[in-house]
Structure 1
């Protein structure tokens, strides 16, 4: 699908079909192949901006403030533990250079709000104390993760770890998000007035996407990632009175463009480097296993940092933070575009994202069901004692 992956026009089934059903010459087929690859890449970039904008809209800051310090502590440990473990482990055990190791460690920090919330909702645990802490921590994880991503991506561009540059990036990324949230309080009424004045078809969605792309450009202009600007735009508009309507209108656009982004990530990832038959691929498999282990342990440890809450299921909270989902693939895409990731490391991160996404829901169900069964047994014991006495 993409020339940069070593694929040629003759290898594409789509191009073969086009040649068979039209008068396209081999030379024109090659030109068309390159052109359509660029178009798909552009659509993928738009898709990831829409994705981060949608994630920002889902990050309800008011609910986040209500969850309190417990969720904040879980989120911080859930970011620091896998990031430090992944980065240091890759550098010391696998001799991975600093920049790729930092990027891979950054990919371990995120938590998918969408996957976690859906599983909790299906289990009826969304409004439980554990569920609220998981969701609150996941939101904070996304905010911290996007900051880490912005820093890692900028380091990838410079190619070296400059302490002053790192400090600047952290401060600028944090300031950008905080400033955006503060802007939201002022911008709310103005945005609604703009929507009412324009009276365009689709209403709120046109000015919303205009604002999202403007914020993406602004972030890029100050040497941060464009997706940070899109995420910030979502946080800003999350505070408006039109949030629910905007979320409803964004969904079909997201459903159309975001899958293109996911497909391009998969198409550009060379999973053949994980083929166990080839001896030279064994290191990639070991790296993938290591990343999965760190990804799981780092988040589970975060759940056990909760204090003064003996009734809470700390294991369930940790397990609920495991899935990386769509957010993890954003890290892969940015790392792939920057060229900082090797084929084996990139494939290892993709496998980690897939594994945690599929493992977490199953583990979460097991943990909650196990606790429910124990609670039922404890309730039956007093009744049996009373009957026998």
Structure 2
């Protein structure tokens, strides 16, 4: 059965358990939730942007603040939460005639709607990431970026998974999921920093960006595999091989076929006269691939990512990038706020004795996350005088890609609260640490000259 990132599969329609008289209250609850989400995302994003940190971190932290970890404004159903502790539901009770016995059903329906919107947000996010990638540039960077990417995925995944199993006796499937979360690299964060310090066209910058794009591709395949393993609950070699082959075949096949159909796509778009012809056509393509990926037991985000990679080859790429931004601005914050709101960071409170193991796990994941990417700089060959430290640091931030892994793991139920919180802490710290240290690494007197004209010909 294909998985959902946030929503629990319901055996009845979304509002089947809600009385007809309470249906408008579900809409009211959703509207209040969206107000809270958008206000929180803007405040958090603006604060981070003003101190030169990625706004996505502000959205995540804002979600933690308004969620179960702090103010209980935006909460989701759980074994201990029936809506009575939700500030939104309390406000709804004060401003409407909702009956106490209807609170739980309205709360569950409202939460389900927000969960579906968050799932759409991550699908659009991965479509946007794919759209910003450049396959031709990736191929031009050469073997160095490939080696860096493969090592940057293999080392943290192996060390993280093995360490959790051997040192902390973590069950195999959760350990694999946590290890997979260590493989990510945020191309958006790294590219922004490189552009700010004018190193985007340096040898180091080109290798980092190329490797980060490959990391995204490999990471999405790994995510599709481990998410399917989480659904099955066991690790079977035959199933793993099938998932890897099917994920790779789907990604390669959809990109190959999609690139052949780009002229058809552009002809159709040019022939349409109504408003939104490019954006709607692109979203149709992305949702079709997301649907196909979902029904063949992969993740929907793999399909939307592939759609983005395909349309990145279109002549109308820049126009599409501009048009998708408002859609992303509407849906993506819901995803990040929901991730933060679901994260219970109280499990990492050091003053609670039973939480100390979670803190040790978080420290372990952070150490592996940093070491596993720093070693990638040592694998660069054929580049005398290159700044290997800068390359390693540039691969460290997990950012939004790492959060996708954490969200999928949390929604699948395979991660314990402490392990999920440990992954979130790892993502936050690596994303905060990388930008200042990357700037510092490039201030060292090392060869960071731009790629020569001969190599660019």
Tell me whether the two structures share a fold, i.e. TM-score over 0.5: yes
CA offset at residue 333 of structure 1? 1.1
| Partners of 1:92 and 1:43 in 2: CA distance | 38
CA offset at residue 8 of structure 1? 3.4
Q: Answer yes or no: is 1:181 the counterpart of 2:234.
A: no
Q: Answer yes or no: is 1:167 the counterpart of 2:244.
A: no
Residue of structure 2 equivalent to 1:251? 325
Q: CA 1:373/1:130 → structure 2, altered by over 3 Å: closer, same or farther?
A: closer
**2:178 corresponds to which of 98, 104, 113:** 104
Residue of structure 1 equivalent to 2:211? 137
Q: Answer yes or no: is 1:58 the counterpart of 2:132.
A: yes
Q: CA 1:13/1:23 → structure 2, altered by over 3 Å: closer, same or farther?
A: same
Q: CA deviation digits over 1:4-35, x for unaligned, max 9?
A: 26333232222222222222222233332221
Residue of structure 2 equivalent to 1:75? 149
Residue of structure 2 equivalent to 1:335? 409
| Partners of 1:178 and 1:302 in 2: CA distance | 25
Residues 184-203 of structure 1 mapped to structure 2, 5 A cutoff: 184-203=258-277
Residues 271-350 of structure 1 mapped to structure 2, 5 A cutoff: 271-350=345-424
| Partners of 2:118 and 2:404 in 1: CA distance | 11
CA offset at residue 374 of structure 1? 12
Residue of structure 2 equivalent to 1:387? none
Residue of structure 2 equivalent to 1:21? 95
**2:282 corresponds to which of 205, 208, 211:** 208
Residue of structure 2 equivalent to 1:229? 303
Q: CA 1:196/1:6 → structure 2, altered by over 3 Å: closer, same or farther?
A: farther
Residue of structure 1 equivalent to 2:111? 37
Q: CA deviation digits over 1:28-76, x for unaligned, max 9?
A: 3333222110110000000000011111111110110110000000000
Q: Secondary structure at the match of 1:127?
A: coil
- Structure 2 unaligned segments of length 5 or more: list them: 1-74, 450-457
Q: CA 1:5/1:64 → structure 2, altered by over 3 Å: closer, same or farther?
A: farther
For normalisation by structure 1, the TM-score amounts to 0.94
User: Would you say the 8 A contact 2:369–2:430 is kept in 1?
Assistant: yes
- Structure 1 unaligned segments of length 5 or more: list them: 376-389
CA offset at residue 229 of structure 1? 0.7
Residue of structure 2 equivalent to 1:359? 433
Q: CA 1:105/1:321 → structure 2, altered by over 3 Å: closer, same or farther?
A: same
Q: How many residues align?
A: 375
Q: Secondary structure at the match of 1:4?
A: coil
Residues 374-385 of structure 1 mapped to structure 2, 5 A cutoff: none
| Partners of 1:327 and 1:374 in 2: CA distance | 27
| Partners of 1:4 and 1:249 in 2: CA distance | 37
Q: CA 1:324/1:234 → structure 2, altered by over 3 Å: closer, same or farther?
A: same
Q: Secondary structure at the match of 2:393?
A: helix
| Partners of 1:307 and 1:249 in 2: CA distance | 40
Q: CA deviation digits over 1:115-150, x for unaligned, max 9?
A: 000011111111111111100000000000001011
For normalisation by structure 2, the TM-score amounts to 0.80
Which protein is richer in helix relative to its size?
1
Residue of structure 1 equivalent to 2:225? 151
Residue of structure 1 equivalent to 2:53? none
CA offset at residue 269 of structure 1? 1.4
Residue of structure 1 equivalent to 2:14? none
